[in-house]
Structure 1
Amino acid sequence: MSQTIIERLAGFSAATDVARLPAEVIEECKRDVLDTLGCALAGIDHPKGRIGIEAGKRLGGTGGTATIIGSGEKSTPHGAAFANGELANALDADSVLLPGHVSPYVLPGAFAMAEAQQRSGRELIAAVAVSHEISYRLGAAMSGYRDTQDGKPSQSSVVGYSSTVFGATASAGKLRGLDAEKLANALGIAAATAPVNSQRAWFMHAPTATIKYQMAGALTNAALSAVDMGDLGHRGDLLLLDDEEHGYPRYVGTARWSPELLTAGLGEDWRFPAFQMYKPYPHCRVMHAPLDLLIDLVARHDIKVEEIEGITSYGEGWAYELPCFTNRKILLQHDAQFCFAHGLAVAAHRIPPGRQWQDEAVVFNPSVMALMNKVQLKTHPTYFQSISADILSRPSRLEIQARGQTFAAEKGFPKGMRSSDPSTYMTNDELAAKFRAFVDGLLPATTIEQVIDSVLNLERVEDFGAVMRLMVRTSA
C-alpha cells in the first residue's frame, strides 16, 4: 500500500539530517533563527509580548526546562513556546514566508523542545529546515490572500496561517525524537486539531483583534500537544491530506488545493529559501516597499516633516482597501502596526527602525498623527498584472508633495528578499545590524555579539539551550 501524504511528510521529517542539507538551506535556517530571537526579545515591552509572557507562565508554570525569552524565567515547553510565540510576533517585525508568517508559529516550539531535550545546533537546523519547507509547501498548495487569476484578484473567503501547525509539529516531534510512525500520528492529530483560519474576518474588521491574524502561542501549543499525543500512543488520521472531499482541504476551507506540491521532490528540492523574506521595519510587510521609497526620498532630498503637504502611496491592491489596514483610529500601540498611513508618517520623521517605532510616545506623537492624515493610499496600476507574472513582486510608487513640487520614486521589490534586484537581498551583516538595533539596551553589547556569533555558527553549538539562556533582558 502506498504511503499517505502525511506519512511521506513524517518520513521526510524524521530522515532529514543537517549533513545532507544544501548550504543555502543551512544558512537560511540560521538567519531566521537569529531574526526571530531578536524580534522576540524586542517585543518584551509591547503589550502583546507582556501578556504572552504572563499567559505562558499561567499555562506552563515556572521552574521548567525551557527559557522564556527576555524574562529569563523557565517554564514547560508548552509555556515557554506560548510566550515566545507571542513575543516573536508582538512587533510584527518577524520574517515572512508562505502562507504569510511562519516563524512565530514554528520556531518557538522548536526552541523549547531543543532546549528541553538538550539538542545541538545541528539538530535544531535540521528541524527548522523541515518546519519551513513543509510550511512553504502547504502555503503554496492552498489559497492565499495574494492570489490572482487573469491579472485580477482572486480572493478566497478563507485564508490564514493555520497550516503552519504541520511544520511546527514536524520540527518539535523531530527534536523530541519521535520516529516516523509516531510523527505521522502526531501530524494526523495536528491536522484534526489545528486552529481555524479566521484571517479574512480579521482583515474586514476594525479595530483589529490584538491576538492578530492567528494567535502564535495557541498554534505552538496545538503542535506541541499533537507531539505529546503521538508520543504517548494516540493514533492520528493519516488520510486527512489525501481526502479532498472530507479531509483537511475541505474543513480548513481552502478554495485551492494542489497536493502534488506537498511531496514533489520532497527532501531533494528545497524550495523555501527562495521565498524567505525579512522585515527591516516593525510594520506590515505590505508597506515595506513604500517605506523603502519614502525613507530614501526624505534622506536624499532632506525633506522636513513640516514641509510635507501630502504623501501618496501606490501599492498592493489586495490590501489597500481593507478595513484592518485603512483604519486610522489609533487606540492602542497594536493599531500602528497595520495602519499604512501611520507607518509612512513614522518613517517620515526619520525614526530609526526598531522597537521604538511602537513606543507609545512615537505611536501617539501629535506630529505623527497629523502627518498620517495627509497620506493617501492607491492601488498601483500594474499591481495585479505584476504579481500574476511574478508572485514575489510588490510594485510600489511613492510620491511626496513638498516645497511646491512632487518627489517620486518606484520599485518592484522591497528590501529583505531575493529578487531580480540584488540590492533587495538582506545580507547576514544587515540581519545582524537589525538584531543589534532591535535589542539595543536590552542586552549588553558583548552578549549581543555572542548571540549573533553563536547563531550564525549554529552548527558548532553543542547545546542550543546555551543560546536561549543568553536571551535574558539585563537592562531596562
Structure 2
Amino acid sequence: MSDTVVRVLADFTSGTRFQDLPSAVVDETKRILLDSIGCALGGVNAPKGSIGGRLAHLMGEDGSATIIGNAGRTSVFGAAFANGELINALDFDAILPPGHVAPYVIPGALAVAEQGNAGGEDLITAVALAHEMSYRFGKSMDYHRDTSGGKADTPAVLGFASTVFGATAAVGRVRDLAPEIVANALGIAGSISPVNSHRSWLMHAPTSTIKYTMAGPIVQAALTASYSAEYGHTGDQMILDDAEYGYRRFIGARRWATENLLDELGTTWRFPAESTHKPYPHCRVMHAPFEALTEILEGNDIRPEEIDAIRAWGEGWVGLPVWLNDRIEQIHDGQFSVHHGLAVAAQRIQPGPAWQDPGVVYDEKVLAMMEKVTFQGHPDALTALTRDSRSRPTRIEVDARGTTFTAERCYPKGTPSPEPQTYMTTGELADKFRINAAEVLPARQTEDAVDALLNLERLDDIGKLMGLVSVA
C-alpha cells in the first residue's frame, strides 16, 4: 500500500538518519533530553513519580532498563512507564503543541536504546523525529488555545493522545525497523491509542492525580504497537486517511488538517521554533505572571508578610475549574491552581522540587496568601494570541508598604520569541537540571550527566548515560 498518511510517516521514520538532522534540531533535541531527564530526577519523591516506579516493578524485573533516579533495573516496559510518569511528575517538563510531548515520546526510545546498547546519535534521531511528528499532529488537530468567533475556544474533546504516533516512531527508529513494520506499528498505535480525556480533567476540581493524559499508558501503547508489528501483527494503514471513520473521528478531533502533518516532512523541521521550556514547576499558563511577580518582589525586596494584595491579569481561557481550584487536597492540585501558584511564588522560594514539597504546598502562610490573590483575563490576550500563538500578555499589581507595584510581560521566560531574553539558554537548562538532581545525585555525578547529555552524539552506549542518572 502506498502513499497513505501512515506510510509517509513510516518512510520518514525509517529513512531519517542522524546525518539528516540540521544542527538546530540536534541542539534542541539534546536540550529537551537534558531538561526531561532533569525533570524526572526532580520528580523522584513526588507522588506521581513514586507511584510510577511501584507500578513499573509489576511489569517485569529482567534488568533490561533503568528507572531514572532509582536503584536497580527493571523491564523495558516497566522502566519506560515509570520514566514517563517521572518526567511529568512536577509538571516541569517542556511544552510543544499539542501540549506536553517529552514524557510520552522519550521513555520508550530511551528504554529500548539502553536495552539494545544504542548510541547517542540513535537516541537523538529518534527523539527528534518523534517531536517533529507530534508537533505536526498538534498543528493538524484541535488545540486547547484555538480561537473561534472572537473568543478563546477550548474544544469539548482534546488531549495529547496523538503523541502515541511519535512515541511509536521513536521506538521503531531506535530498533531500526523496516518501513513496512513501522507502518503497521503506527496503524496499531492509532487503534490502541488512549482517549483524549483532557477536557473532562479540566472541568472537575479537585481533579484526578493522573492529570490530563497519563504518560505511562501512552508509552505502553507505543511499545505494544511497535513490538506487535515486529512480531507479525498488521495495523490499519488507512487509519489517518479516513476522516469519517478513522483516528480523527474516534479520537474526537473536529479539525483534521493533514497538510500540516505532511507538508515538507523530512525537509523542514518545525518543532524547534515552538519548543518551550519551563522555569517553574507549574502549569505553563502561569509562568508570565510568576515572572512579573518575581520581578516586583525581588526588585523591591518585598517580603511575603508585607504583601496586602496580588492582582493578576493573564490568559482568560484558564477560567476553568482546574485552574480556579482553591481546594489543595493533593500535591498536584498546586501545579495548576492560579491562586496557589501565585501564593507560592510570593514566598520567593527557588523554583524546583521545593515548590511541591508538602511543607510548602500546605504551608499556612501559602494558604493564607491565596486569599490575597485575584485573577482575571487580560483584555489583550485574545488579540495577542491571534497575532502570535506564543504571546501571553500579563499584568501583575502588588499592594505592599502602602504602594502599588506593577510589572507586565508579553512572552514568558522559556519561550523562543521576538524578545531574545525570553529564550531559555542551555546554561539555564543545565542549572535547572542541577536543581532537580540536587537531592538525588552526588554533585560530581550530576556534572558528568550534564556533560554526557550536552555531548550525547559522542556517546557510544546509552547505558552509560543511564548509569549516570540512576543511584547505586
TM-score (norm 1): 0.98
CA displacement at 1:455 relative to structure 2: 0.6
Whole-Å Cα distance in 1 between the matches of residues 169 and 76 of structure 2?
15
Whole-Å Cα distance in 2 between the matches of residues 211 and 251 of structure 1?
22
Name the SS of the counterpart of 2:417 in structure 1: coil
Whole-Å Cα distance in 1 between the matches of residues 63 and 42 of structure 2?
23
Partner of 1:208 in structure 2? 207
Runs of 4+ in 1 over 4 A off after TM superposition: none
CA displacement at 1:73 relative to structure 2: 2.0
Partner of 1:421 in structure 2? 419
Partner of 2:450 in structure 1? 452
Contact 1:67/1:468, CA 8 A, preserved across alignment: yes
Q: Which amino acid aligns with 2:240?
A: L
Contact 2:295/2:407, CA 8 A, preserved across alignment: no
Whole-Å Cα distance in 1 between the matches of residues 396 and 130 of structure 2?
36
Partner of 1:219 in structure 2? 218
What's the CA shift string for 1:285-331, capped at 9, x where partnerless? 11001011111110001111111111111111111x11011111111
Name the SS of the counterpart of 2:281 in structure 1: coil
Residues 218-237 of structure 1 mapped to structure 2, 5 A cutoff: 218-237=217-236
Partner of 1:7 in structure 2? 7
Whole-Å Cα distance in 2 between the matches of residues 148 and 322 of structure 1?
16
- Give the number of aligned pairs: 472
Whole-Å Cα distance in 2 between the matches of residues 75 and 2 of structure 1?
39
Contact 1:145/1:318, CA 8 A, preserved across alignment: no
Partner of 2:35 in structure 1? 35
Deviates more, 1:426-435 or 1:339-348: 339-348
Partner of 2:375 in structure 1? 377
Q: Which amino acid aligns with 1:11?
A: D
CA displacement at 1:2 relative to structure 2: 4.4
Partner of 1:330 in structure 2? 328
Q: Which amino acid aligns with 1:472?
A: S
Whole-Å Cα distance in 2 between the matches of residues 394 and 117 of structure 1?
43
Q: CA RMSD in A?
A: 1.0
- Aligned-pair identity (%): 51
Contact 1:152/1:385, CA 8 A, preserved across alignment: no
Name the SS of the counterpart of 1:253 in structure 2: coil
Name the SS of the counterpart of 2:376 in structure 1: strand
Gaps of 5+ in 2: none
Contact 1:149/1:388, CA 8 A, preserved across alignment: no
CA displacement at 1:150 relative to structure 2: 5.0
Partner of 2:273 in structure 1? 274
Partner of 1:254 in structure 2? 253
Gaps of 5+ in 1: none
Q: Which amino acid aligns with 1:291?
A: F
What's the CA shift string for 1:363-408, capped at 9, x where partnerless? 1111111001111010000101111111111111111111222111
Name the SS of the counterpart of 2:268 in structure 1: coil
Contact 1:399/1:409, CA 8 A, preserved across alignment: yes
CA displacement at 1:104 relative to structure 2: 0.5
Whole-Å Cα distance in 2 between the matches of residues 465 and 409 of structure 1?
47
Residues 17-96 of structure 1 mapped to structure 2, 5 A cutoff: 17-59=17-59, 61-96=60-95
Whole-Å Cα distance in 2 between the matches of residues 30 and 383 of structure 1?
32
Q: Which amino acid aligns with 1:388?
A: T
What's the CA shift string for 1:158-178, capped at 9, x where partnerless? 010000000000001111221
Whole-Å Cα distance in 2 between the matches of residues 73 and 197 of structure 1?
34
Whole-Å Cα distance in 1 between the matches of residues 182 and 312 of structure 2?
47
Whole-Å Cα distance in 2 between the matches of residues 151 and 90 of structure 1?
35
What's the CA shift string for 1:339-384, capped at 9, x where partnerless? 1111111111110011011001111111111001111010000101
Partner of 2:338 in structure 1? 340
Whole-Å Cα distance in 2 between the matches of residues 89 and 121 of structure 1?
23
Contact 2:69/2:441, CA 8 A, preserved across alignment: no
What's the CA shift string for 1:121-179, capped at 9, x where partnerless? 00111001110000000001000110003541222110100000000000011112211
Name the SS of the counterpart of 2:44 in structure 1: helix
Q: Which amino acid aligns with 1:340?
A: V
Name the SS of the counterpart of 2:383 in structure 1: helix
Deviates more, 1:171-180 or 1:46-55: 171-180
Residues 124-273 of structure 1 mapped to structure 2, 5 A cutoff: 124-273=123-272
